[in-house]
């Protein structure tokens, strides 16, 4: 054990030892009490990580899978409500805090760049036209800006296990936390095998002689191996993969602008396709169809907040990562929508009939202008993007399941944390479901996954709405308990205005999706089958909330009272008054800075 380094091993401050294998010990801080209103928090204990030095490398590797050793702190939970118990549990959940600022930055920048942008945007372009793509990305992009800023404020203040699904339980209602937590986990759970199939299909662009099941097996092993290295493995993989995706998108935008200006076989293009065949296809229905493609493209944008509990210093790194959302939306989606709208007419048949990468508007645009090498490069980028999303699927699902388990919302076995800080049972369960990727051999695999995704199709929109509403409840609770924003570490630049407008846009999008699902483009009458494929999650959410409230007998209180909301547990800073002074000093230092620096800090 490292006796001489005991003073250096700090947990709440984020300066924990960065070792590959360690055991865990939690020691009570001086003056810590069991009172929820005392100003202390159950997460304010000093975390001590001790390296495991005994034995050879193999034995240390085996020991890392053993359960983490938690000392019983003797908290008396008698008489506590379900919400209070879950708050304590999520705050004390011992996930490893090993993500650095650079990991979080790259997760924030590249976390949502995947097949939705590279391939799915082509489907939206075909059904709605370039105008619909631009409107869809703008509306969903703005709502995501609202969601992530709201989530960033909460996650910096409370970097607890499970992030937003724990916030739903804490600030709104445990039934809401259960429902949206399960559906969010399911969305990643289903995404994992579908991304494995996408990997196999992408490789077939180069070689169709190899059985796709072989490629599924290869990429399955790669993704599973990455996640066995814990959050550090996930962070390093995303740092590299996201970096490649970012370079590729920026490179395509530059190349696209050059082609629009006349570099290519077609000569000067300009806004030709916005006039002929036109900016819109299928009118307002075409725009509504683009919403799903846009939502799929932005999916995963909230992962940066989910990683807060495993970040060394969320107070410094998370606000920067949150502000990256603006640049993501502006550069990677707004500019991309304009470029592909100028380069590819929505009448191009490959947008709907092309297989895999052949349906990508990026590849189609390059091929139309006689550039032969770049499509292969783009295919490689799409493959990297798919692996990245598959990697995020295991991470997102396992951390959500672990948080739900420690809150007591699903069986406790899923909350098992080993000595390397990995939620190993949740990871293994996710990996097991990933074996569904071998359905690539089934003739009806497309239909199977369509129904799988119907379980959580609209749930993303409602989850994002719930995040904005939870942020509103947090602000209302501060006011109701006589507290102010002076103690809030990171204040959302959009404030409650962002919450109201974000909710309004997302509910409008949901209404549009229900309409086009019930009355699809080209259908003479209502299509019940298409409706259930797209909207099965809507009645399922209602059933889950009602069932949870009925089973636990919580109908008497629809939501947690504002005066009863816990505003302290889960903070890494103990002394609120000291924190207020630090925040005031930082604000004053910023106010004394030059205008250009204040402008930079507002956006970056």
The rounded distance, in Å, linking the Cα atoms of 210 and 321 is 41
Does residue 589 surpass a pLDDT of 50? yes
Look at the chain and count its residues. 604
Helix/strand/coil (H/E/C) assignment for every residue in 175-198: HHHHHHHHHHHHHHHHHHHHHHHH
Q: Say what the pLDDT of residue 89 is.
A: 55
Range from 72-86, 398-412, 498-512 carrying the lowest mean pLDDT: 72-86
Does residue 507 surpass a pLDDT of 90? yes
The rounded distance, in Å, linking the Cα atoms of 226 and 231 is 9
Q: Say what the pLDDT of residue 603 is.
A: 67
| Residue in the structure block whose two tokens are 């499970």 | 162
C-alpha R_g of the chain: 24
Does residue 52 surpass a pLDDT of 70? no
Range from 154-163, 420-429, 435-444, 568-577 carrying the lowest mean pLDDT: 568-577
Does residue 289 surpass a pLDDT of 80? yes
Residue bearing the bigger pLDDT, 362 or 66: 362
Nearest to 336 by CA among 302, 378, 308: 378
Residue bearing the bigger pLDDT, 146 or 25: 146
SS3 418: strand
Residue 150's pLDDT band (cuts 50, 70, 90): very high
Give the bridge partners for 47, in sequence order.
26
Helix, strand, coil percent values for the chain (each to nearest 5): 65, 5, 30
Residue 533's pLDDT band (cuts 50, 70, 90): confident
Nearest to 279 by CA among 122, 140, 135, 141: 135
Contact 140, 294 (CB under 8 A): yes
The rounded distance, in Å, linking the Cα atoms of 148 and 142 is 10
Range from 18-27, 224-233, 409-418, 573-582 carrying the lowest mean pLDDT: 18-27
Output the CA angle 72-77-82, nearest 5 degrees.
125
Q: Which secondary structure element, helix H or strand E, spans residue 26, and what is its range?
A: strand 22-27
Q: Say what the pLDDT of residue 33 is.
A: 37
Cβ neighbours of 518 (radius 10 Å): 17
Tokens of 114: 């995947």
The predicted-structure confidence for 561-573, as pLDDT tens digits, reads as follows 999 888 887 776 5
Tokens of 455: 């379980």
Tokens of 290: 């683009």
Residue bearing the bigger pLDDT, 74 or 451: 451
The fraction of the chain above a pLDDT of 90, given in percent, is 14
Average pLDDT rounded to a whole number, residues 180-197: 89
Range from 112-116, 154-158, 336-340, 558-562 carrying the lowest mean pLDDT: 112-116
Q: Say what the pLDDT of residue 8 is.
A: 35
Q: How far is CA 563 from the centre of its chain?
A: 30
Q: Say what the pLDDT of residue 429 is.
A: 94
The end-to-end CA distance of the chain, in Å, is 41
The predicted-structure confidence for 10-28, as pLDDT tens digits, reads as follows 333 333 333 333 333 333 3
> In the CATH hierarchy, which top-level class contains the domain 92-551+558-573?
mainly alpha
Q: Say what the pLDDT of residue 1 is.
A: 36
Q: Say what the pLDDT of residue 31 is.
A: 36
The rounded distance, in Å, linking the Cα atoms of 212 and 196 is 10
Nearest to 269 by CA among 349, 348, 337, 341: 341
The predicted-structure confidence for 362-392, as pLDDT tens digits, reads as follows 888 888 887 777 778 888 888 888 888 888 8
Contact 185, 401 (CB under 8 A): yes
> Phi first, then psi: what are they for 585, rounded to 5°?
-65, -40
What sign does the dihedral 529-533-537-538 (CA atoms) show?
Answer: negative
Q: Say what the pLDDT of residue 476 is.
A: 95
Give the bridge partners for 67, in sequence order.
418
Q: Is 159 left (phi over 0), alpha (psi -120 to 50) or beta?
A: beta
Average pLDDT rounded to a whole number, residues 242-248: 86
Q: Which secondary structure element, helix H or strand E, spans residue 27, and what is its range?
A: strand 22-27
Q: Say what the pLDDT of residue 301 is.
A: 77
- HSE-CB at 332 with a 13 A cutoff on CA atoms is 27
Residue bearing the bigger pLDDT, 158 or 8: 158
The rounded distance, in Å, linking the Cα atoms of 475 and 496 is 8
Return the axis-axis angle of helices 495-518 and 528-535, rounded to nearest 10°: 150
Q: How far is CA 91 from the centre of its chain?
A: 20
Quote the mean pLDDT of the chain: 78
Range from 391-395, 443-447, 461-465 carrying the lowest mean pLDDT: 443-447
Does residue 63 surpass a pLDDT of 50? yes
Does residue 76 surpass a pLDDT of 60? no
Burial class (CB in 10 A: 0-12, 13-18, 19+), 510: middle
Does residue 70 surpass a pLDDT of 80? no
Q: Say what the pLDDT of residue 481 is.
A: 92
Contact 12, 32 (CB under 8 A): no
Q: Say what the pLDDT of residue 34 is.
A: 38
The rounded distance, in Å, linking the Cα atoms of 226 and 235 is 10
CB neighbours of 246 closer than 8 A, spacing ≥ 6?
A: 106, 109, 110, 113, 332
The fraction of the chain above a pLDDT of 70, given in percent, is 80
| Residue in the structure block whose two tokens are 């390296």 | 51
Helices (H), 519-594: 528-535, 537-552, 576-591
**Domain ranges for the chain:** 92-551+558-573
Range from 49-53, 430-434, 536-540 carrying the lowest mean pLDDT: 49-53
Q: Say what the pLDDT of residue 375 is.
A: 78
For the residues of 237-278, what is the DSSP string, one character each? HHHHHHHHHHHHHHHHHHHHHHHHTT-STT---TTHHHHTT-
- Put simply, whether the predicted model's pTM sits higher than 0.85 gets the answer no
């Amino acid at each position: 054990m490292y006796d001489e380094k005991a003073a250096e091993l700090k947990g709440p401050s984020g300066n924990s030892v960065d070792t590959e294998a360690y055991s865990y010990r939690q020691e009570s801080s001086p003056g810590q009490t069991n009172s929820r209103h005392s100003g202390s928090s159950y997460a304010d204990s000093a975390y001590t990580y001790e390296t495991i030095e005994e034995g050879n490398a193999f034995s240390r590797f085996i020991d890392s899978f053993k359960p983490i050793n938690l000392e019983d702190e003797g908290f008396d939970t008698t008489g506590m409500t379900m919400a209070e118990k879950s708050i304590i549990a999520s705050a004390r959940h011992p996930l490893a805090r090993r993500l650095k600022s650079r990991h979080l930055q790259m997760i924030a920048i590249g976390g949502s760049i995947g097949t939705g942008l590279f391939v799915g945007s082509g489907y939206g372009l075909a059904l709605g036209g370039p105008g619909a793509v631009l409107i869809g990305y703008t509306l969903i992009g703005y709502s995501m800006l609202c969601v992530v800023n709201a989530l960033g404020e909460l996650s910096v203040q409370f970097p607890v296990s499970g992030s937003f699904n724990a916030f739903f339980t804490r600030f709104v209602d445990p039934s809401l936390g259960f429902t949206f937590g399960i559906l969010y986990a399911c969305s990643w759970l289903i995404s994992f095998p579908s991304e494995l199939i996408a990997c196999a299909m992408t490789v077939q662009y180069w070689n169709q002689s190899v059985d796709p099941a072989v490629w599924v097996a290869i990429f399955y092993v790669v993704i599973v191996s990455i996640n066995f290295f814990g959050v550090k493995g996930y962070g390093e993989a995303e740092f590299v993969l996201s970096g490649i995706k970012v370079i590729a998108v920026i490179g395509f935008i530059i190349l696209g602008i050059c082609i629009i200006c006349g570099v290519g076989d077609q000569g000067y293009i300009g806004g030709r396709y916005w006039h002929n065949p036109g900016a819109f296809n299928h009118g307002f229905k075409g725009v509504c169809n683009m919403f799903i493609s846009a939502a799929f493209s932005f999916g995963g944008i909230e992962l940066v907040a989910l990683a807060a509990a495993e970040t060394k210093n969320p107070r410094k790194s998370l606000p920067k990562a949150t502000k990256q959302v603006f640049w993501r939306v502006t550069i990677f989606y707004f500019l991309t929508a304009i470029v592909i709208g100028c380069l590819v007419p929505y009448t191009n048949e490959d947008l709907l009939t092309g297989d895999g990468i052949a349906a990508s508007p990026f590849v189609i645009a390059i091929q139309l202008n006689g550039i032969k090498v770049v499509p292969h490069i783009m295919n490689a980028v799409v493959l990297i993007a798919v692996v990245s999303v598959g990697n995020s699927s295991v991470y997102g699902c396992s951390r959500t399941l672990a948080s739900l388990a420690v809150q007591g919302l699903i069986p406790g076995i899923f909350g098992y944390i080993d000595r390397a800080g990995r939620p190993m049972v949740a990871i293994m369960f996710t990996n097991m479901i990933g074996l569904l990727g071998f359905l690539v051999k089934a003739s009806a695999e497309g239909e199977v996954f369509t129904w799988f995704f119907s379980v959580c199709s609209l749930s993303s929109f409602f989850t994002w709405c719930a995040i904005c509403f939870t942020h509103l409840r947090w602000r209302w609770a501060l006011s109701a308990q006589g507290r102010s924003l002076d103690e809030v570490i990171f204040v959302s630049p959009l404030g409650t205005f962002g919450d109201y407008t974000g909710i309004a846009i997302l509910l409008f999008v949901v209404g549009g999706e229900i309409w086009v699902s019930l009355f699809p483009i080209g259908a003479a009458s209502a299509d019940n089958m298409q409706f259930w494929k797209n909207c099965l999650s809507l009645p399922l959410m209602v059933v889950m909330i009602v069932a949870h409230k009925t089973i636990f007998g919580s109908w008497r209180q629809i939501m947690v009272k504002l005066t009863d909301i816990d505003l302290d547990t889960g903070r890494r800073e103990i002394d609120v008054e000291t924190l207020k002074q630090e925040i005031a000093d930082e604000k004053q230092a910023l106010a004394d800075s030059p205008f250009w620096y204040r402008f930079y800090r507002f956006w970056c």
